[in-house]
Chain A
Amino acid sequence: MSSPSTGTVDLAEEFMGRRSTMQRIQGALHKYPWLSPLIVLAVAVVIFYLLNSRFLLPQNLSFITQQTVIVGTLAIAQTLVILTAGIDLSIGAIMIFSQMLMANLAVSTTASNVLPIAGQNPYLAIGLGILGGMAAGALNGFLIVRFNLPPFIVTLGTLSIWTALTLIFFKARTIQGPEIPDQLKWLGSTFKIGEFQLLYGVILMLIMYAIFGYILRNTAWGLHIYAVGDDPNASELSGISTKRVIFSVYLVAGLIIGIAGWITIGRVGSASPNVDPLLNLDTITAVVIGGTSLFGGRGTLIGTLIGAFIITVVENGLSLAGLDQAYRVLAVGILVILAVAVDQWIRKAKA
């Protein structure tokens, strides 16, 4: 409420004008949450270029995009979930399940596959694999919404469940590249733009960022994701079905994870149940470094993309600089803690 008296306005403006530089930075970071990760990325690129000028060669930059594609795609799903103040620890396990389902459905029956349903049309196999991811996402959402369980616990459980089911159903067997139909590996093939070699999977990832960025910014569903993460009670009282929003987010996350499974087959060139166990944590790292708040309701998808690239750039740059893999893990660990600390500080800002 405000009186139309000009006195208060002048006072307010005077007060605004007297903000210190620090407060102004805080305000800017608060308004544009992707700004701090962008600065970190820019600084990292400059440092790594100075350490080793090969860093900026087109081949290396292309390689960085290829290295980012799996975590980058999965991080879209993680962003949606974290925006609702949830967390998804089962992302990696579901992705592995989904890609193993795809590959096992698609291999020819003559190969030593373990499923009696093998030899399907490759496109059907891709579709069913993605559906498998959605079903797993729906299970997460159902358990969280129906029984009011904390997402952390539910997805911790389904992490084990899907890891185990993958080993049980598919006998822990890696399906080698030559057995897999080309359609499943297509996203791993490259094309050239000038000196750059890009994966089709990278293009698909960028398209997905564009689509979900649009959805988050410009649709009611996107707005409701922010509102539910921001204040679930207020959202419920405003007439939003918070349960429906949360369930749909985990379902859509499953869809994204399924697509990431397809990308992974192409990127890796085979379908193995032994994919990087740090995948889950890397997606959370990308989201957090990208300026999305773990408390929900705050963050951007573009920030997550930058965050995913920061992880790869640090990894790639440190290895080009001749440092051990352990330093990459160390650096990412420090970055995560810094990102959360900065987030806490920014949240205190009065923009």
Chain B
Amino acid sequence: MTTQTSTVTPILQGKDLVKTFGRVVGLDGVNIELYPGEVLAVVGDNGAGKSTLIKCFSGAHVPDSGEMFVNGEKVVFHSTHEAREGGVETVFQTLAVAPALDIASNLYLGREVRKPGFMGTIFRTLDKKAMREQSAAQLRNLGISTLQNITQAVETLSGGQRQAVAVARCAAFGSKVIILDEPTAALGVNESARVLKMIQDLRDRGLSIILISHNMPQVFEVADRIHVARLGKRAAVVTPQSHSMNDVVAIMTGAMTVPVEEQQLAPVR
């Protein structure tokens, strides 16, 4: 256990974030650090501020006070678009895919590629061929091989395949940070296992990942560190090695507190 602050710059950091909705306090001065190449799980009871925290980073909410940093640089995200430009991609629980559109269109939704030359500049023609080829390559990279037909409508895919499309969209654009909000909540056992495998693959490729989950066994399987949220604050940061699942649940509910010197605030990888 290290107690001193790390010399590594967090790839994503929130300092004293506060967000209130009328009289409801969503975030009450949260600190969070995500280090390069790690999976940081964010767990907490309902209303602990997980979603609000993630929505601040993804640009869906603007915090009332506090600061956010990407790679040490202060950022302000007013929209999901700005967050993506800043290198933070979020896979929302609802997946944010358009079901009637095909896989390639979904991967490039909101940042379509136009044809080179005057067809693209004057007639604004989309380069569908290039988008399809690159989508196929991207899905192959992620090991999603049964999605052979890139022109398939997303609504014809299974839940796990849709999740893969949503994740592929995030990973496709060279982002630094991917936030996954309950990626396995709607999935069966096998599909969940594949999503967890994909999370580990993405980390091995150097991406930094925040994983929001209710599922303790899954969190303990893939997380490097676990950020426990409680009542709009950070209750503790622990590791799967330092604490048990029961400990984490106890921290979530306030039955247990962890002294700062026993927390894992520095990167482990």
A-facing residues in B82-120 (Cβ within 8 Å): 84, 90, 92, 94-101, 105, 109-112, 114
In the complex, A218→B81 CA distance in Å? 22
B-facing residues in A136-177 (Cβ within 8 Å): none
Give per-residue flags for A105-140: 1 if the beta carbon is below 8 A from chain B beta carbons, else 0: 000000000000000000000000000000000000
By a CB distance below 8 angstroms, the chain B residues around A8 are 146
CB nearest neighbor in B for A235: B98
A19 within 8 A of B: no
Total interface residues on B, CB under 8 Å, equals 43
Beyond A1-B194, A239-B80, whether A227 also contacts B145 by CB under 8 A is no
By a CB distance below 8 angstroms, the chain A residues around B161 are 1-2
B195 within 8 A of A: yes
Partner of A239, one of B94, B97, B110: B110
Beyond A2-B160, A2-B164, A227-B109, whether A219 also contacts B100 by CB under 8 A is no
In the complex, A240→B95 CA distance in Å? 15
Total interface residues on A, CB under 8 Å, equals 29
Q: Is the CB of A1 within 8 A of B60?
A: no
In the complex, A264→B140 CA distance in Å? 54
By a CB distance below 8 angstroms, the chain B residues around A233 are 94, 96
B66 within 8 A of A: no
B79 within 8 A of A: yes
In the complex, A240→B191 CA distance in Å? 29
Partner of B92, one of A219, A221, A224, A237: A237
Q: Is the CB of B163 within 8 A of A1?
A: yes
Q: Is the CB of A240 within 8 A of B145?
A: no
Beyond A234-B95, A298-B100, whether A2 also contacts B153 by CB under 8 A is no
By a CB distance below 8 angstroms, the chain A residues around B194 are 1-3
In the complex, A160→B80 CA distance in Å? 39
Give per-residue flags for A223-262: 1 if the beta carbon is below 8 A from chain B beta carbons, else 0: 1101100110111111110000000000000000000000
CB nearest neighbor in A for B164: A1
Give per-residue flags for A79-110: 1 if the beta carbon is below 8 A from chain B beta carbons, else 0: 00000000000000000000000000000000
Q: Is the CB of A230 within 8 A of B105?
A: no
B129 to chain A, nearest CB (A): 12
CB nearest neighbor in B for A350: B156
Q: Is the CB of B126 within 8 A of A239?
A: no
In the complex, A235→B143 CA distance in Å? 26
A351 within 8 A of B: yes
A247 to chain B, nearest CB (A): 17
B-facing residues in A1-57 (Cβ within 8 Å): 1-4, 8-9, 12
Partner of B100, one of A224, A238, A240, A297: A297
B88 to chain A, nearest CB (A): 12
By a CB distance below 8 angstroms, the chain B residues around A297 are 98, 100
By a CB distance below 8 angstroms, the chain A residues around B79 are 239
A220 within 8 A of B: yes
Q: Is the CB of A4 within 8 A of B100?
A: no
By a CB distance below 8 angstroms, the chain B residues around A12 are 146
B113 to chain A, nearest CB (A): 9
By a CB distance below 8 angstroms, the chain B residues around A351 are 152-153, 156
By a CB distance below 8 angstroms, the chain A residues around B100 are 226, 230, 297-298
B198 within 8 A of A: yes
Q: Is the CB of B110 within 8 A of A240?
A: yes
Interface centre among B100, B114, B190 (most CB of A within 10 A): B100
B130 to chain A, nearest CB (A): 13
Partner of B98, one of A2, A3, A220, A231: A231
In the complex, A1→B201 CA distance in Å? 13
A3 to chain B, nearest CB (A): 7
Beyond A9-B146, A238-B110, A239-B84, whether A1 also contacts B96 by CB under 8 A is no
CB nearest neighbor in A for B105: A223
Beyond A1-B160, A1-B164, whether A219 also contacts B60 by CB under 8 A is no
By a CB distance below 8 angstroms, the chain B residues around A226 are 98, 100-101
In the complex, A223→B124 CA distance in Å? 12
Q: Is the CB of A220 within 8 A of B124?
A: yes
By a CB distance below 8 angstroms, the chain A residues around B111 are 239
CB nearest neighbor in B for A3: B194
Beyond A230-B100, A234-B94, whether A240 also contacts B109 by CB under 8 A is yes
B125 within 8 A of A: yes
By a CB distance below 8 angstroms, the chain B residues around A230 are 98-101
Q: Is the CB of B126 within 8 A of A223?
A: yes
Q: Is the CB of A235 within 8 A of B109?
A: yes
B144 within 8 A of A: yes
Q: Is the CB of B98 within 8 A of A236?
A: no
Q: Is the CB of A236 within 8 A of B164?
A: no
B147 within 8 A of A: yes
Q: Is the CB of A221 within 8 A of B146?
A: no
The 3 closest A-B pairs by CB, nearest first: A239-B110, A2-B146, A1-B194
Offer 19 A-B interface pairs, CB within 8 angstroms, sorted by A. Answer: A1-B160, A1-B191, A2-B147, A220-B126, A221-B124, A223-B109, A224-B110, A226-B101, A227-B101, A231-B99, A234-B97, A234-B109, A235-B110, A236-B80, A237-B90, A237-B92, A237-B96, A240-B110, A297-B98
A-side interface residues toward B, CB under 8 Å?
Answer: 1-4, 8-9, 12, 218-221, 223-224, 226-227, 230-231, 233-240, 297-298, 350-351
Q: A234-B96, A234-B98, A240-B109 are in contact. List 14 more A-B contacts (CB 8 A).
A: A1-B191, A223-B126, A230-B99, A231-B96, A233-B94, A234-B94, A235-B98, A237-B60, A237-B90, A237-B94, A239-B79, A239-B110, A350-B156, A351-B156
